Amino acid sequence: MNILLTGAAGFIGFHSARRLLANGHRVLGIDNLNTYYEVALKHHRLAQLEGQPGLTFQRIDLADREAMAALFDAHRFDAILHLGAQAGVRYSLDAPFTYIDSNLTGFLTVLEGARRHGVRHLVYASSSSVYGANVKQPFCLEDRTDTPVSLYAATKKANELIGHAYAHLYRIPMTGLRLFTVYGPWGRPDMAYFKFTNAILRGEAIDLYNGGDMERDFTFVDDVVDGVVRLLESEPVFAEGGAPHRVYNFGNDRPERLDAMVSHLERLLGRSAKRILLPMQPGDVLSTRADISLAARDLGYAPRTSLAEGLERFVAWHRDYYGHRTGAAA
Protein backbone atom coordinates (compact mmCIF):
# COMPACT_ATOMS: atom_id res chain seq x y z
CA MET A 1 0.00 0.00 0.00
CA ASN A 2 0.88 3.67 -0.29
CA ILE A 3 0.59 4.95 3.28
CA LEU A 4 0.74 8.50 4.60
CA LEU A 5 2.28 8.47 8.08
CA THR A 6 2.07 11.68 10.08
CA GLY A 7 4.42 12.12 13.02
CA ALA A 8 6.98 9.89 11.30
CA ALA A 9 9.88 11.21 13.40
CA GLY A 10 7.96 10.63 16.60
CA PHE A 11 8.26 7.66 18.92
CA ILE A 12 5.37 5.46 17.73
CA GLY A 13 5.59 6.88 14.20
CA PHE A 14 9.21 5.76 13.85
CA HIS A 15 8.47 2.22 15.05
CA SER A 16 5.38 2.03 12.81
CA ALA A 17 7.33 3.23 9.77
CA ARG A 18 10.05 0.65 10.33
CA ARG A 19 7.53 -2.19 10.56
CA LEU A 20 5.46 -1.05 7.57
CA LEU A 21 8.57 -0.70 5.40
CA ALA A 22 9.75 -4.15 6.47
CA ASN A 23 6.37 -5.51 5.36
CA GLY A 24 6.87 -4.05 1.89
CA HIS A 25 4.62 -1.00 2.04
CA ARG A 26 5.50 2.43 0.67
CA VAL A 27 5.49 5.11 3.36
CA LEU A 28 5.42 8.86 2.89
CA GLY A 29 6.27 10.24 6.32
CA ILE A 30 5.76 13.82 7.44
CA ASP A 31 6.74 15.62 10.63
CA ASN A 32 7.34 19.22 11.67
CA LEU A 33 10.34 18.27 13.88
CA ASN A 34 9.26 20.69 16.61
CA THR A 35 11.32 21.44 19.71
CA TYR A 36 8.96 19.99 22.36
CA TYR A 37 11.80 17.60 23.19
CA GLU A 38 15.31 17.13 21.82
CA VAL A 39 15.18 17.41 18.03
CA ALA A 40 18.40 15.39 17.69
CA LEU A 41 16.52 12.29 18.82
CA LYS A 42 13.95 12.82 16.07
CA HIS A 43 16.70 13.20 13.47
CA HIS A 44 18.38 10.04 14.74
CA ARG A 45 15.12 8.13 14.39
CA LEU A 46 14.82 9.33 10.80
CA ALA A 47 18.44 8.35 10.18
CA GLN A 48 17.50 4.77 11.10
CA LEU A 49 14.90 4.82 8.33
CA GLU A 50 16.96 6.55 5.63
CA GLY A 51 17.82 4.44 2.64
CA GLN A 52 15.10 1.88 3.25
CA PRO A 53 13.17 1.08 0.04
CA GLY A 54 9.74 2.65 -0.05
CA LEU A 55 10.37 5.58 2.29
CA THR A 56 9.88 9.25 1.47
CA PHE A 57 10.06 11.99 4.11
CA GLN A 58 8.88 15.61 3.99
CA ARG A 59 9.08 18.22 6.71
CA ILE A 60 5.54 19.60 6.92
CA ASP A 61 3.53 21.12 9.75
CA LEU A 62 0.07 19.55 9.97
CA ALA A 63 -1.46 22.96 10.70
CA ASP A 64 -0.12 24.38 7.41
CA ARG A 65 -3.30 24.13 5.34
CA GLU A 66 -1.68 25.01 2.02
CA ALA A 67 1.20 22.56 2.44
CA MET A 68 -1.14 19.74 3.47
CA ALA A 69 -3.50 20.42 0.57
CA ALA A 70 -0.55 20.36 -1.84
CA LEU A 71 0.64 17.07 -0.34
CA PHE A 72 -2.70 15.41 -1.01
CA ASP A 73 -2.87 16.94 -4.51
CA ALA A 74 0.54 15.47 -5.36
CA HIS A 75 0.06 11.94 -3.94
CA ARG A 76 -2.55 9.23 -3.72
CA PHE A 77 -2.73 7.21 -0.53
CA ASP A 78 -4.40 3.87 0.12
CA ALA A 79 -4.31 4.44 3.87
CA ILE A 80 -3.37 7.09 6.41
CA LEU A 81 -1.77 6.46 9.79
CA HIS A 82 -2.22 9.74 11.65
CA LEU A 83 0.07 9.82 14.69
CA GLY A 84 1.24 13.43 14.45
CA ALA A 85 0.05 15.49 17.41
CA GLN A 86 1.25 17.61 20.30
CA ALA A 87 1.63 15.14 23.16
CA GLY A 88 1.85 15.59 26.91
CA VAL A 89 -0.72 16.39 29.58
CA ARG A 90 1.29 18.84 31.68
CA TYR A 91 2.63 20.84 28.71
CA SER A 92 -0.95 21.60 27.67
CA LEU A 93 -1.18 23.79 30.80
CA ASP A 94 1.68 25.95 29.49
CA ALA A 95 1.12 25.99 25.71
CA PRO A 96 -2.60 25.55 25.00
CA PHE A 97 -2.59 27.08 21.52
CA THR A 98 0.02 24.55 20.41
CA TYR A 99 -2.50 21.79 21.12
CA ILE A 100 -5.27 23.52 19.21
CA ASP A 101 -3.03 24.08 16.19
CA SER A 102 -1.57 20.58 16.07
CA ASN A 103 -4.31 18.35 17.45
CA LEU A 104 -7.39 20.09 16.04
CA THR A 105 -6.35 22.11 12.97
CA GLY A 106 -3.76 19.46 12.12
CA PHE A 107 -6.32 16.68 12.35
CA LEU A 108 -8.72 18.62 10.16
CA THR A 109 -6.15 19.07 7.37
CA VAL A 110 -5.71 15.28 7.31
CA LEU A 111 -9.48 14.69 7.25
CA GLU A 112 -9.96 17.21 4.47
CA GLY A 113 -7.26 15.52 2.40
CA ALA A 114 -8.95 12.16 2.92
CA ARG A 115 -12.34 13.65 2.06
CA ARG A 116 -11.15 15.21 -1.19
CA HIS A 117 -9.06 12.31 -2.41
CA GLY A 118 -10.41 9.22 -0.65
CA VAL A 119 -8.59 6.50 1.27
CA ARG A 120 -9.36 2.88 2.09
CA HIS A 121 -8.76 3.45 5.79
CA LEU A 122 -7.69 6.29 8.09
CA VAL A 123 -6.25 5.19 11.45
CA TYR A 124 -5.57 7.91 14.03
CA ALA A 125 -4.20 8.11 17.56
CA SER A 126 -6.52 9.03 20.38
CA SER A 127 -5.54 8.59 24.03
CA SER A 128 -6.54 6.91 27.28
CA SER A 129 -6.69 10.47 28.63
CA VAL A 130 -10.20 10.78 27.18
CA TYR A 131 -11.46 8.70 30.13
CA GLY A 132 -10.77 11.66 32.39
CA ALA A 133 -11.15 11.05 36.11
CA ASN A 134 -13.05 7.80 35.58
CA VAL A 135 -12.55 5.58 38.65
CA LYS A 136 -14.20 2.45 37.24
CA GLN A 137 -11.61 -0.09 36.12
CA PRO A 138 -10.87 -1.26 33.51
CA PHE A 139 -11.67 1.59 31.14
CA CYS A 140 -14.30 0.33 28.69
CA LEU A 141 -15.26 1.82 25.35
CA GLU A 142 -18.82 2.25 26.65
CA ASP A 143 -17.68 4.45 29.56
CA ARG A 144 -18.45 8.17 29.53
CA THR A 145 -15.65 10.28 28.05
CA ASP A 146 -17.21 13.74 28.25
CA THR A 147 -15.38 14.92 31.39
CA PRO A 148 -11.73 15.50 30.34
CA VAL A 149 -9.36 16.78 33.02
CA SER A 150 -6.76 18.30 30.67
CA LEU A 151 -6.77 20.25 27.42
CA TYR A 152 -4.73 17.47 25.82
CA ALA A 153 -7.47 14.98 26.68
CA ALA A 154 -10.14 17.36 25.36
CA THR A 155 -8.38 17.64 22.00
CA LYS A 156 -8.16 13.85 21.72
CA LYS A 157 -11.85 13.44 22.50
CA ALA A 158 -12.55 16.16 19.93
CA ASN A 159 -10.61 14.08 17.39
CA GLU A 160 -12.94 11.15 18.01
CA LEU A 161 -16.05 13.33 17.62
CA ILE A 162 -14.80 15.09 14.50
CA GLY A 163 -13.62 11.78 13.06
CA HIS A 164 -17.06 10.26 13.58
CA ALA A 165 -18.72 13.25 11.91
CA TYR A 166 -16.46 12.97 8.84
CA ALA A 167 -16.94 9.20 8.67
CA HIS A 168 -20.70 9.72 8.77
CA LEU A 169 -20.83 12.59 6.28
CA TYR A 170 -18.25 11.41 3.75
CA ARG A 171 -18.11 7.64 4.41
CA ILE A 172 -14.38 7.69 5.17
CA PRO A 173 -13.51 4.39 6.91
CA MET A 174 -11.84 5.50 10.14
CA THR A 175 -10.47 3.93 13.32
CA GLY A 176 -9.30 5.71 16.47
CA LEU A 177 -6.86 4.16 18.94
CA ARG A 178 -6.99 5.05 22.62
CA LEU A 179 -3.33 4.48 23.48
CA PHE A 180 -2.31 3.70 27.08
CA THR A 181 1.13 4.96 28.25
CA VAL A 182 3.25 3.61 25.41
CA TYR A 183 6.95 3.16 26.25
CA GLY A 184 10.09 1.53 24.87
CA PRO A 185 13.33 2.12 22.95
CA TRP A 186 13.56 5.42 21.03
CA GLY A 187 10.87 6.77 23.36
CA ARG A 188 9.88 10.28 24.34
CA PRO A 189 12.20 11.97 26.85
CA ASP A 190 9.26 13.81 28.46
CA MET A 191 7.71 10.56 29.71
CA ALA A 192 8.25 9.39 33.27
CA TYR A 193 10.26 6.22 32.61
CA PHE A 194 12.70 8.14 30.38
CA LYS A 195 13.05 11.10 32.76
CA PHE A 196 13.54 8.75 35.72
CA THR A 197 16.28 6.86 33.88
CA ASN A 198 18.13 10.07 33.06
CA ALA A 199 17.81 11.37 36.62
CA ILE A 200 18.94 8.13 38.27
CA LEU A 201 22.02 8.00 36.06
CA ARG A 202 22.89 11.60 36.94
CA GLY A 203 22.29 11.10 40.63
CA GLU A 204 19.43 13.59 40.53
CA ALA A 205 16.16 13.29 42.41
CA ILE A 206 12.96 12.15 40.71
CA ASP A 207 9.50 13.58 41.36
CA LEU A 208 6.91 10.97 42.31
CA TYR A 209 3.45 12.47 42.14
CA ASN A 210 0.94 11.22 44.69
CA GLY A 211 3.97 9.68 46.39
CA GLY A 212 4.29 7.13 43.59
CA ASP A 213 0.90 5.67 44.48
CA MET A 214 -0.40 5.77 40.91
CA GLU A 215 -1.00 3.00 38.38
CA ARG A 216 -0.54 3.05 34.64
CA ASP A 217 -1.32 0.48 31.97
CA PHE A 218 2.22 0.62 30.54
CA THR A 219 2.10 -0.67 26.95
CA PHE A 220 5.26 -1.68 25.12
CA VAL A 221 5.64 0.00 21.74
CA ASP A 222 6.12 -3.23 19.75
CA ASP A 223 2.79 -4.54 21.04
CA VAL A 224 1.07 -1.33 19.91
CA VAL A 225 2.71 -1.50 16.47
CA ASP A 226 1.62 -5.13 16.10
CA GLY A 227 -1.97 -3.95 16.50
CA VAL A 228 -1.54 -0.94 14.23
CA VAL A 229 -0.11 -3.02 11.39
CA ARG A 230 -2.81 -5.68 11.77
CA LEU A 231 -5.39 -2.92 11.52
CA LEU A 232 -3.87 -1.38 8.39
CA GLU A 233 -3.33 -4.70 6.63
CA SER A 234 -6.86 -6.04 7.22
CA GLU A 235 -10.28 -4.88 6.17
CA PRO A 236 -11.69 -2.45 8.76
CA VAL A 237 -14.59 -3.71 10.87
CA PHE A 238 -17.54 -1.42 11.60
CA ALA A 239 -20.97 -1.77 13.15
CA GLU A 240 -23.82 -2.46 10.76
CA GLY A 241 -25.81 0.56 9.63
CA GLY A 242 -23.74 3.22 11.34
CA ALA A 243 -20.87 5.49 10.39
CA PRO A 244 -17.70 3.64 9.27
CA HIS A 245 -15.93 4.67 12.45
CA ARG A 246 -14.68 2.57 15.36
CA VAL A 247 -12.53 3.17 18.43
CA TYR A 248 -10.30 0.62 20.18
CA ASN A 249 -8.36 0.58 23.43
CA PHE A 250 -4.70 -0.28 22.82
CA GLY A 251 -3.35 -0.98 26.29
CA ASN A 252 -1.72 -3.80 28.19
CA ASP A 253 -4.54 -4.74 30.61
CA ARG A 254 -1.89 -5.15 33.35
CA PRO A 255 -1.52 -1.86 35.27
CA GLU A 256 1.64 -1.34 37.32
CA ARG A 257 2.36 1.08 40.16
CA LEU A 258 4.63 4.01 39.39
CA ASP A 259 6.92 3.21 42.30
CA ALA A 260 7.23 -0.38 41.02
CA MET A 261 8.46 0.98 37.71
CA VAL A 262 11.11 2.96 39.59
CA SER A 263 12.21 -0.22 41.38
CA HIS A 264 12.62 -1.99 38.02
CA LEU A 265 14.78 0.88 36.77
CA GLU A 266 16.92 0.84 39.92
CA ARG A 267 17.61 -2.85 39.40
CA LEU A 268 18.41 -2.46 35.70
CA LEU A 269 20.63 0.59 36.19
CA GLY A 270 22.33 -0.70 39.32
CA ARG A 271 21.67 2.57 41.14
CA SER A 272 19.22 3.84 43.72
CA ALA A 273 16.77 6.63 42.96
CA LYS A 274 16.46 9.72 45.12
CA ARG A 275 12.73 10.19 45.51
CA ILE A 276 10.82 13.43 46.08
CA LEU A 277 7.24 12.62 47.05
CA LEU A 278 4.79 15.18 45.70
CA PRO A 279 0.99 15.58 45.60
CA MET A 280 -1.13 14.92 42.53
CA GLN A 281 -0.69 17.37 39.67
CA PRO A 282 -3.48 19.11 37.72
CA GLY A 283 -4.63 16.95 34.81
CA ASP A 284 -3.30 13.68 36.25
CA VAL A 285 -5.39 10.61 37.08
CA LEU A 286 -4.69 7.97 39.73
CA SER A 287 -4.99 4.86 37.60
CA THR A 288 -5.49 3.62 34.05
CA ARG A 289 -6.35 0.13 32.85
CA ALA A 290 -7.60 -0.84 29.39
CA ASP A 291 -10.38 -3.22 28.47
CA ILE A 292 -8.86 -4.61 25.25
CA SER A 293 -11.51 -7.26 24.54
CA LEU A 294 -12.82 -5.62 21.36
CA ALA A 295 -9.33 -5.21 19.88
CA ALA A 296 -8.57 -8.82 20.80
CA ARG A 297 -11.75 -10.02 19.07
CA ASP A 298 -11.46 -7.95 15.89
CA LEU A 299 -7.68 -7.75 15.45
CA GLY A 300 -6.18 -10.53 17.50
CA TYR A 301 -4.53 -7.79 19.55
CA ALA A 302 -2.62 -9.50 22.37
CA PRO A 303 0.15 -7.54 24.13
CA ARG A 304 2.86 -9.91 25.34
CA THR A 305 5.57 -7.71 26.85
CA SER A 306 5.78 -7.39 30.64
CA LEU A 307 6.94 -4.13 32.19
CA ALA A 308 10.13 -5.80 33.44
CA GLU A 309 11.00 -7.06 29.95
CA GLY A 310 10.02 -3.81 28.24
CA LEU A 311 12.10 -1.67 30.59
CA GLU A 312 15.05 -4.02 30.15
CA ARG A 313 14.88 -3.46 26.39
CA PHE A 314 14.53 0.29 26.90
CA VAL A 315 17.55 0.47 29.22
CA ALA A 316 19.61 -1.59 26.76
CA TRP A 317 18.75 0.93 24.02
CA HIS A 318 19.40 3.87 26.34
CA ARG A 319 22.82 2.47 27.22
CA ASP A 320 23.66 2.03 23.54
CA TYR A 321 22.30 5.44 22.47
CA TYR A 322 23.74 7.59 25.26
CA GLY A 323 26.65 5.42 26.32
CA HIS A 324 25.63 6.10 29.93
CA ARG A 325 28.13 8.87 30.18
CA THR A 326 27.50 11.13 33.15
CA GLY A 327 24.95 13.71 32.09
CA ALA A 328 24.83 12.37 28.53
CA ALA A 329 21.07 12.02 28.39
CA ALA A 330 19.20 15.25 27.67
| Annotated active-site residue in 99, 124, 131, 152 | 152
Domain count, the chain: 1
Within a domain: 290: no
Which of 53, 54, 72 minimizes the C-alpha distance to 62?
72
* Domain containing residue 78: CATH number: 3.40.50.720
By CB atoms closer than 10 A (0-12, 13-18, 19+), residue 176 is buried
Question: Residue 328: its pLDDT value, please?
Answer: 46
Within a domain: 149: yes
What residue type is 272 in one-letter code? S
For residue 240, give its domain range.
2-182+220-250
Helix (H) and strand (E) counts in the chain: 12, 13
> What's this model's pTM, rounded to 2 decimal places?
0.95
Within a domain: 329: no
What whole-number distance in Å separates Cα of residue 330 and Cα of residue 123? 32
Within a domain: 202: no
Question: Residue 326: its pLDDT value, please?
Answer: 43
What whole-number distance in Å separates Cα of residue 193 and Cα of residue 259? 11
Within a domain: 62: yes
Within a domain: 189: no
Contact 218, 181 (CB under 8 A): yes
Within a domain: 257: no
Rounded to a whole number of angstroms, the CA Rg of the chain reads 19
Query: 249: which strand partners?
Result: 178
124 is known as an active-site residue? no
Question: Residue 325: its pLDDT value, please?
Answer: 54
By CB atoms closer than 10 A (0-12, 13-18, 19+), residue 172 is buried
What residue spans of the chain are helical by DSSP H?
11-22, 39-49, 65-74, 91-94, 96-99, 106-117, 151-170, 192-202, 221-233, 258-269, 293-299, 307-322
- Average pLDDT per consecutive 10 residues, the chain (330 residues; last block may be shorter): 98 98 98 97 97 96 98 98 94 95 98 97 97 90 94 97 98 98 97 96 94 92 98 90 95 93 97 93 84 96 97 97 64
What whole-number distance in Å separates Cα of residue 321 and Cα of residue 208? 26
Within a domain: 148: yes
Which of 50, 55, 46 minimizes the C-alpha distance to 24?
55
